[in-house]
Amino acid sequence: MTLSIAKRVLEEIHTHAESTYPEECCGLLISDRSKHVTESIRMKNAYDGPKHDRYNIDPLELFRADRASAQKGLTIAGIYHSHPDYPATLSKFDTDHSFPWYSYVVVSVPKGQAGDTRAWIPKEDRTSAMEETMEVFG
Ligand SMILES: [Zn+2]
């Protein structure tokens, strides 16, 4: 399945990624059932340590966002996060800690400027991830 993201959502993700540089940002991709992402929700990077190459989403914050989205008939299609001065690929840490039912959007932020943005789907066993086609609409 293709992950479609509204242009203004992608811009908001880029703004978020630049605002937390040189630390990673993270957030949720909110969509309808056919992976049309029309909203994003910023999450706090709750990683308990240096945040320049790690992020963690508080499960309670995720749960609340999931419930709020469901009340609007929407769902969490995936998770986005940034890679300060690192390519837009999933790291081993990322795949090890991923959920195979989510899409993962990664934004590369070289020198503080959001750039290459790619989507990934982890394999069931979390050993690797496949790139997902991403299209921008609106
Ligand atoms: Zn990462």
Give the mean pLDDT of 1-19. Answer: 97
What spacing in Å lies between the alpha carbon of 83 and ligand 1's midpoint? 6
What spacing in Å lies between the alpha carbon of 92 and ligand 1's midpoint?
A: 8
Q: How far, in Å, is the centroid of ligand 1 from the Cα of 75? A: 22
Q: How far is the CA of 14 from the centre of ligand 1 (A)?
A: 15
Q: With bands split at pLDDT 50, 70 and 90, how would you rate the model's confidence at 101?
A: very high
Q: Could you please report the per-residue DSSP string of 64-109?
A: HHHHHHHHTT-EEEEEEEEEETS-SS--HHHHHT--TTSEEEEEEE
**pLDDT tens, residue by residue, 29-54:** 999 989 999 999 999 999 999 999 99
Instruction: Give the model confidence (pLDDT) of 53-69 as tens digits.
Output: 999 999 999 999 999 99
From ligand 1's centre to the CA of 121, what distance in Å? 13
In the predicted structure, residue 1 carries a pLDDT above the cut 90: no
Q: 82: CA distance to ligand 1 center in Å?
A: 7
CATH numbers and ranges of domains, the chain:
3-137 (3.40.140.10)
Q: Give residue 95 CA to ligand 1 midpoint distance, Å.
A: 8
Mean pLDDT over residues 15-38, rounded? 97
Quote the pLDDT of residue 74: 97
CA distance 108 to 106: 7
pLDDT the model gives residue 33: 86
